[in-house]
């Protein structure tokens, strides 16, 4: 059950860099990758190794310079712009290091924001948001505004917003980057539970403690996949 398939993808942001610096110009270099339903993959590696670029390419936010990506069986390069938007909206959820909440909307309205584009009834919206708020322990702050909430609360709100449309895949780029260790582990425990309930997760982190919540650890170096470790099967593949 393959959700995303990347074939030989490479990414070069700026070909002129080669002339300027004369060094490796590849943010990604010939990556082959498969995401299966139920996976929880942690992408690791030093700063500049290509983690965010890979996440952005896999999640349709960016395009590789060469190679092909199929997502839910569709060729990304062939999807029309409108279809792509709808597709992201229905099937994908995003969480970034900065929660990117809208400051003048309440926590409730921030979570509800993606639903405004859909066709749900108010009652359904309320029910879904209260369910999520309960799971993420933010029920008590639904009427507050982001500036009145802690970093952990804001980040959990961002996760609720990402999940409000029940995406099949959740993409997280350094979601714990601005959290203390207690809040980080709380968040990761939640993501693990979510994964057990069938949401597929792709996580970027430079923190090995955080990465270890994943089922698979993938290490990047200089834009290439260096090592893949499957936690439960204790198998390891060197590239």
Q: Give the residues lining the site for ligand ADP (CB under 6 A).
A: 13-14, 27, 45, 47-53, 174
Q: How far is the CB of 131 from ligand ADP (least distance, A)?
A: 31
Q: Nearer to ligand ADP by C-beta: 99 or 128?
A: 99
CB of 174 to ligand ADP, least distance (A): 5
- Angle (CA) 127 112 121, round 5°: 55
Q: Which is nearer to ligand ADP, 48 or 118 (CB)?
A: 48
181: buried, middle or exposed (CB in 10 Å: 19+, 13-18, 0-12)?
Answer: exposed
Give me the least distance between CB of 222 and ligand ADP, in Å please: 9
Give whichever of 176 and 200 is closer to ligand ADP, judged by the CB atom.
176
Which one, 52 or 176, has the nearer CB to ligand ADP? 52
Shortest spacing between CB 26 and ligand ADP, in angstroms: 8
CB neighbour list of residue 46: distance below 8 Å, 6 or more residues apart: 206, 221
Least distance to ligand ADP, CB of residue 167, Å: 21
For ligand ADP, give the closer residue by CB, 39 or 174.
Answer: 174
What sections of 38-121 are H helices per DSSP? Answer: 51-58, 81-91, 107-112
- The alpha carbon of residue 23 and the mean position of all alpha carbons in its chain are separated, in whole angstroms, by 29
The number of beta carbons lying within 10 Å of the beta carbon of residue 44 is: 25
For residue 23, give both structure tokens. 């060094």
- Give, as one character, the DSSP assignment of residue 48: T
Question: How many CB atoms sit inside 10 A of residue 191's CB?
Answer: 23
């Amino acid at each position: 059950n393959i959700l995303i398939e990347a074939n030989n993808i490479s990414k070069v942001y700026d070909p002129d860099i080669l002339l300027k610096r004369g060094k490796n110009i590849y943010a990604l270099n010939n990556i082959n990758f498969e995401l299966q339903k139920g996976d929880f993959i942690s992408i690791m590696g030093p700063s500049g190794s290509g983690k965010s670029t890979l996440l952005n390419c896999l999640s349709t936010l960016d395009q590789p310079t060469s190679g092909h990506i199929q997502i839910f069986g569709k060729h990304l390069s062939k999807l029309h712009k409108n279809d792509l938007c709808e597709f992201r909206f229905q099937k994908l959820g995003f969480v970034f290091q900065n929660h990117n909440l809208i400051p003048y909307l309440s926590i409730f309205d921030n979570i509800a924001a993606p639903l405004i584009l859909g066709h749900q009834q108010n009652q359904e919206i309320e029910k879904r948001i209260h369910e999520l708020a309960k799971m993420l322990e933010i029920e008590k702050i639904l009427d507050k505004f982001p500036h009145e909430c802690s970093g952990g609360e804001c980040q959990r709100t961002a996760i609720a917003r990402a999940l409000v449309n029940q995406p099949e895949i959740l993409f997280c780029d350094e979601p714990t980057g601005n959290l203390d260790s207690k809040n980080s582990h709380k968040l990761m425990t939640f993501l693990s539970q979510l994964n057990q309930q069938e949401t597929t997760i792709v996580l970027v982190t430079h923190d090995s403690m955080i990465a270890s919540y994943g089922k698979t650890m993938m290490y990047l170096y200089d834009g290439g996949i260096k090592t893949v470790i499957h936690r439960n099967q204790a198998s390891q593949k060197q590239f």
